[in-house]
Amino acid sequence: MFSAIFLTLLSVALAVNGALYTHPTHLTSKSYDYIICLTFSRRSAGVGGGVVAHRLSENPDIRILLIEAGPSNEGILPVQVPLLCTSLNPDTAYDWNYTTTPQTGLNGTVLDYPRGRLLGGSSSINYMLWTRGSRDDYDRLARVSGDAGWAWDALVPFMKSVETLAPAVDGHNISGEVDPSVHGTSGPLTVSMSMSVPTDRLVIGATQQLEEFPFVEDMNSGSPIGMGYGQSSIRNGTRDSSATAYIQPALARHKNLDVLLNSHVLRVLKTGSVNGVPVFRGVQFATSANATVFTLNAAREVILSAGAIATPQLLLLSGIGNSARLKETGIRAIVDLPDVGQHMQDHPLVANIFNTSSQDITTDDIQRNSTLAAEELTQWQTSRKGFMTMTIATQIGWFRVRDNSSIFARGDPSAGPTSPHYEMIISDGFAASRETFPNTGRFFTVVTALVSPASRGSVTLASTNPFDNPIVDPNFFSAPVDIAIMREAIKASRRLVSAPVFADYITGEFPLLAAAQTDAEIEAYARSYATTVLHPVGTAAMSAFNASNGVVNPDLTVKGTIGLRVVDSSIFPFIPAAHTQAPTYIIAERAASIIASHGSVPFTESFLPV
């Protein structure tokens, strides 16, 4: 929404650190223990590789190369200024510009499916919301993987090791808005609360007036149910990403990490076999289609952190996937893993807009008034204060549907009682991408998102050319329970703003919402105007070591291979009821610990999967 105003202010100053390379021919070393492929990055991808690179670089005896397809994240104003995040996609220089297949569940709509193409991946372009998910989300992961190390209690040290909890940017007293005891105090990534806005009083007031929407002091405690203050990955009013928090500090501190930009990974290569098990330690990459193809071999491992769209694409291009389908596509099948690219899950959302009588400045004014926006930007530049330090959300709520008898006739898709069915994201202004922003008026948005969906989609190859986009089909609302939960969530958004505290503030519903009254009309409205929170997962799902399904083992090694691991959001067999960046940082912290615990001995048969 800010693109027209601000893209002219871009200054792309590439700060070249010791080990940051911008072209493959500049690499001085050809010898690496680990090669981490960020190549294509998704909303929460880029994250995994950055975390692993940072942690592994703490051991001076190993050498790491991190390969990124896009440019540096540095010196790009909309990447730094939180409120400008909406200008970073779709169809910008930092986006892969993916689209979905026509979505049957959304009246045939083709959605933009942006993905960050710069250092830090999508953590450099996302909306920064920091939510871990529920205790049941992780306990289910432990159950399906047979590895108790993925359970909530076991992961708490890794959750804390990511974070440093910081005071609010406007200095307001955050006591009662967050529980410091559940947060880290010395991790690389800063987590902070947004500045106060006038609607805080209304939303928190509603939690006191309506039993249905209780207040939750800290939604990152494992029990998120309720409405509370949003936390975000923002440091001193500035975006914090896997690039700023993990990769750049590691580059500055350690000589054993190299980062190669502008290099698109084409596939991983089989470099040998041990007892008949193929070893994949080779990586092929190029700066563009038809340019020279470079190959490097890792002494120990290739780690894919390309995200839930590109990791399956790379696996398939490398001959790892459904053998029969690979052969049809013309790719030599090496490892038969039919689940590669399957079971894709994502969170669809509907932005419910309410008209208000607001007399205060809201983000609506900033979207419309370029003078005000310029003033706010100046304030951000001089003092890191004001609206520009905000992301889109003020409060976030996580709820379970109340009347569940018919809705859950075929089972409850949530992980358990601590997991919500839907989310409410509160925005102090108009926050919708599929409706037209009016020239006048101030608005209040309750985004409802389906966070425990039952629908499953897929990522498949469109061709054998690594520069062609894969076919992305989230298959939204294909399961009847999903549209039913979304319908109930939209009704709940109406109940929230009917709290007495909103009486003088909410003056009506935006026309599209107002027209949706019956259950059938609400479902049609959802199908017509839903879009996505962009949280794809599941396309290289984790399963137990001996399971016949799944793509990666509980230690994130790719089944039936040696030397190949996946560390990104594609490994979640079930989507966490959360914005997926925090869960991805968390699994990456544990992955780094698992990898480091193998010691300094290069991999041998003793690390063969059973």
Which residues are designated catalytic? 535, 579
Write the interaction track for ligand NAG spanning residues 27-66; mark x where CB under 6 A is met and - where it is not.
----------------------------------------
Query: With CB under 6 A as the contact rule, which of the stretches 94-102, 386-394, 495-503, 565-573 interacts with ligand NAG?
Result: 94-102
Run of H or E residues at 99: strand 98-99
Q: Nearer Cβ to ligand NAG, position 408 or 607?
A: 408
CB 196 within 8 A of CB 386: no
For residue 257, the cross-strand partners are 64
With binding defined as CB under 6 A, does residue 535 bind ligand NAG?
no
Q: How far apart are CB 439 and ligand NAG at their closest, in Å?
A: 8
In our burial notation (b when 16+ CB lie closer than 10 A, e otherwise), range 532-553 reads: bbbbbbbbbbbbeeebeebbbb
With binding defined as CB under 6 A, does residue 600 bind ligand NAG?
no
Distance of alpha carbon 569 from alpha carbon 308, whole angstroms: 6
Q: What is the DSSP string of 157-169?
A: HHHHHHEEE---T
Selected binder of ligand NAG within 59, 92, 196, 323 (CB under 6 A): 92
With binding defined as CB under 6 A, does residue 99 bind ligand NAG?
no
CB 210 within 8 A of CB 405: no
Q: Nearer Cβ to ligand NAG, position 299 or 372?
A: 372
Query: With CB under 6 A as the contact rule, which of the stretches 25-33, 95-103, 220-228, 305-313 interacts with ligand NAG?
Result: 95-103
Query: Rounded to the nearest 10 degrees, what angle do helices 152-162 and 581-596 cross at?
Result: 100
> How many residues bind ligand NAG, per CB under 6 A?
37
With binding defined as CB under 6 A, does residue 507 bind ligand NAG?
yes
Selected binder of ligand NAG within 29, 209, 236, 378 (CB under 6 A): 236
Q: How far apart are CB 372 and ligand NAG at their closest, in Å?
A: 4
Question: How many residues appear in the chain?
Answer: 610
Q: How far apart are CB 361 and ligand NAG at their closest, in Å?
A: 8
Output the six-digit token pair for 201: 């009083």
With binding defined as CB under 6 A, does residue 357 bind ligand NAG?
no
With binding defined as CB under 6 A, does residue 524 bind ligand NAG?
yes
Selected binder of ligand NAG within 21, 34, 40, 96 (CB under 6 A): 96
Distance of alpha carbon 392 from alpha carbon 128, whole angstroms: 9
Which residue's CB atom is positioned nearest to ligand NAG? 508
Selected binder of ligand NAG within 8, 11, 28, 175 (CB under 6 A): 175
Query: With CB under 6 A as the contact rule, which of the stretches 44-52, 198-206, 476-484, 504-512 interacts with ligand NAG?
Result: 504-512
Name the one residue in this structure whose structure tokens are 């049809």.
328
CB 493 within 8 A of CB 446: yes
Q: How far apart are CB 71 and ligand NAG at their closest, in Å?
A: 11
Write the CA distances from 214 to 34, 217, 258, integer angstroms.
47, 10, 48
With binding defined as CB under 6 A, does residue 4 bind ligand NAG?
no
CB 347 within 8 A of CB 575: yes
The one-character DSSP state at 102 is P
Write the interaction track for ligand NAG spanning residues 264-293; mark x where CB under 6 A is met and - where it is not.
------------------------xxx---
CB 445 within 8 A of CB 354: yes
Q: How far apart are CB 285 and ligand NAG at their closest, in Å?
A: 15
Output the six-digit token pair for 334: 């090496």
With binding defined as CB under 6 A, does residue 548 bind ligand NAG?
no
Q: Please, is 606 exposed, middle or buried when counting C-beta atoms within 10 Å of its C-beta (0-12, 13-18, 19+)? A: exposed
- From the list 54, 68, 79, the residue with the least C-alpha distance to 23 is 68
Give the pairing type, strands 20-21 and 257-260. parallel
Write the interaction track for ligand NAG spanning residues 300-339; mark x where CB under 6 A is met and - where it is not.
----------------------------------------
Distance of alpha carbon 335 from alpha carbon 320, whole angstroms: 5
Q: Nearer Cβ to ligand NAG, position 31 or 236?
A: 236
Query: Rounded to the nearest 10 degrees, what angle do helices 581-596 and 47-56 cross at?
Result: 30
Write the interaction track for ligand NAG spanning residues 104-143; mark x where CB under 6 A is met and - where it is not.
---x---------x--------------------------
3-state helix, strand, coil in the chain (%, to 5): 30, 20, 45
Selected binder of ligand NAG within 11, 173, 548, 604 (CB under 6 A): 173
- Residues 570, 574, 579, 584, CA torsion sign: negative
Site residues, ligand NAG (CB under 6 A): 91-93, 95-97, 107, 117, 173, 175, 236, 288-290, 355, 369, 371-372, 375, 383-384, 400, 404, 408, 412, 438, 441, 507-508, 510-511, 524, 527-528, 545-546, 610
